[in-house]
């Protein structure tokens, strides 16, 4: 099914029957991707007063309780409420769901003993393109990203200058295949988060950061329409399902 998405002054035809899902699902157990020193998510049958919500154990329905942390257990989208005293809900701050996006692939470079994504790399990858959303795929791009245990691994992150560059480019939605845009252990500095949301100025309340995406190697670098949907939790972050659509060339 062909649909046309209007972005600013241009129309972009896409085929809705060919979605490219770049989310990582949440599943119970130790094979789920995990970060931030928390236990794996749990999905288990509800038990109460002798009732077990599992058809295979005699119930008429499957009735599961689910315990997870959106920041630690899969693809999630967060708003500025992640770092503010004042409460901000991503469910209310994200008000549009289709964006012109650019997928770029970057091999993080070494800086002071860490692997980072630098301003220079982003500048080279984006050139003069103006995009409302940028999706960063890092190398090496292995399927193990979908089940990796990131705690205490010091994964790559964005420099402050890289985040500031994205703001200068008017990027409103940043998606990365990492557990965070900031260094794992930075004593709470959160310089990339703060730069992207303009923490020390007028807050970019409509801007979002999506972490823990997985962009398959079959998805090439280039321009796409992004559909970014979050589960309707009133929270600073929520599980999300970013989906890319190739733009049909006339």
In a domain, 94, yes or no: yes
Sign of the C-alpha dihedral, residues 72, 76, 77, 81?
Answer: negative
User: Does 65 reside within a domain?
Assistant: no
Count of domains for the chain = 1
Residue 8: inside a domain? yes
State yes or no: cis peptide before 66, omega within 30 of 0: no
Residue 105 domain-assigned?
A: yes
Q: Does residue 30 belong to any structural domain of this protein?
A: no
pTM for the complete prediction? 0.96
User: Which pLDDT does position 2 carry in this prediction?
Assistant: 87
- Nearest C-alpha neighbor of 70 from the set 243, 233, 244, 242: 233
The reply to whether 58 falls in a domain is no
pLDDT (0 to 100) of residue 1: 81
Q: By residue range, what is the domain housing residue 223? A: 2-25+70-246
Q: Name residues whose C-beta falls within 8 Å of residue 101's C-beta, 6 or more positions apart in sequence.
A: 131, 132, 133, 134, 135, 173, 175, 223, 224, 225, 226, 244
The rounded distance, in Å, linking the Cα atoms of 138 and 118 is 12
Domain membership of residue 14 (yes or no) is yes
Establish if 61 belongs to a structural domain: no
One pLDDT digit (tens) per residue for the chain, 250 residues: 888 888 777 899 999 999 999 999 999 999 999 999 999 999 999 999 999 999 999 999 999 999 999 999 999 999 999 999 999 999 999 999 999 999 999 999 999 999 999 999 999 999 999 999 999 999 999 999 999 999 999 999 999 999 999 999 999 999 999 999 999 999 999 999 999 999 999 999 999 999 999 999 999 999 999 999 999 999 999 999 999 999 998 7
pLDDT at 181: 98
Residue 249: predicted pLDDT: 86
List the CATH number of the domain containing 155: 3.50.30.50
């Amino acid at each position: 099914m062909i649909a046309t998405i209007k972005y600013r002054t241009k129309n972009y035809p896409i085929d809705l029957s060919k979605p490219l899902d770049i989310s990582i699902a949440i599943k119970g157990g130790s094979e789920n991707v995990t970060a931030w020193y928390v236990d794996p998510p749990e999905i288990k049958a509800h038990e109460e007063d002798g009732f077990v919500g599992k058809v295979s154990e005699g119930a008429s329905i499957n009735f599961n309780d689910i315990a997870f942390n959106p920041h630690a257990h899969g693809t999630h989208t967060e708003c500025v409420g992640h770092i503010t005293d004042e409460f901000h809900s991503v469910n209310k701050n994200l008000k549009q769901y289709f964006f012109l996006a650019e997928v770029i692939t970057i091999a993080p470079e070494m800086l002071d003993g860490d692997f980072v994504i630098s301003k220079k790399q982003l500048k080279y990858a984006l050139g003069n393109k103006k995009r409302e959303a940028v999706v960063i795929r890092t190398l090496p791009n292995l399927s193990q990203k979908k089940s990796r245990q990131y705690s205490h691994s010091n994964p790559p992150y964005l420099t402050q200058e890289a985040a500031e560059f994205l703001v200068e480019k008017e990027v409103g939605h940043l998606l990365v295949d990492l557990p965070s845009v900031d260094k794992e252990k930075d004593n709470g500095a959160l310089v990339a988060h703060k730069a992207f949301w303009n923490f020390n100025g007028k807050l970019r309340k409509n801007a979002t950061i999506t972490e823990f995406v997985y962009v398959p190697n079959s998805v090439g670098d280039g321009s796409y329409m992004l559909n970014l949907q979050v589960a309707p939790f009133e929270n600073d972050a929520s599980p999300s399902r970013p989906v890319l659509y190739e733009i049909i060339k006339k």
